[in-house]
Amino acid sequence: MRHGFAFALATAVLLVVPIEAAARPPAQQAAQPPAQPASGLPRTPDAKPNLQGIWQVLNTAAWDILDHSARLGVPAGQGVVEGNELPYRPEALSKKRQNFENRATADPDSKGYLLGVPRIMYMPFPFQIFQTPDYVGMTFEYGGAYRTIYTNGTPHLKGPLNFWMGDSRGHWEGDTLVVDVVHFTDETWFDRAGNFHSEGLHLVERFTLADPDHINYEVTIEDPAVFTRPWKMSMPLYRRKERNVQLLEYDPGLLSDQDQAERERKKTN
Q: Exactly one of 90, 101, 248, 266 binds another protein (CB under 8 A); which one?
A: 248
Interaction of residue 160 with another protein, rule CB under 8 A: no
Q: Exactly one of 101, 244, 266, 267 binds another protein (CB under 8 A); which one?
A: 244
Interaction of residue 246 with another protein, rule CB under 8 A: yes
Interaction of residue 14 with another protein, rule CB under 8 A: no
Interaction of residue 133 with another protein, rule CB under 8 A: yes
Identity of the residue, 213 or 251, whose beta carbon is nearer to another protein in the bound complex:
251
Residue 187 burial (10 A CB sphere; 0-12, 13-18, 19+): middle
Query: Least distance to another protein from the beta carbon of 56, Å?
Result: 16
Q: Would you say 162 and 12 are in contact if contact means Cβ atoms under 8 Å apart?
A: yes
Query: Least distance to another protein from the beta carbon of 132, Å?
Result: 5
How far is the C-alpha of 253 from the C-alpha of 113, rounded, in Å?
7
The residues in 39-58 that bind another protein, with binding defined as CB under 8 A, are 44-46, 50, 52
Query: Least distance to another protein from the beta carbon of 94, Å?
Result: 26
Q: Exactly one of 111, 211, 212, 234 binds another protein (CB under 8 A); which one?
A: 111
**Which residues are at the interface with another protein (CB under 8 A)?**
1-8, 44-46, 50, 52, 111-114, 128, 130-133, 135, 137, 139, 143-146, 148, 150, 154, 157, 163-165, 244, 246-249, 251, 253-254, 257-258, 260-261, 264-265
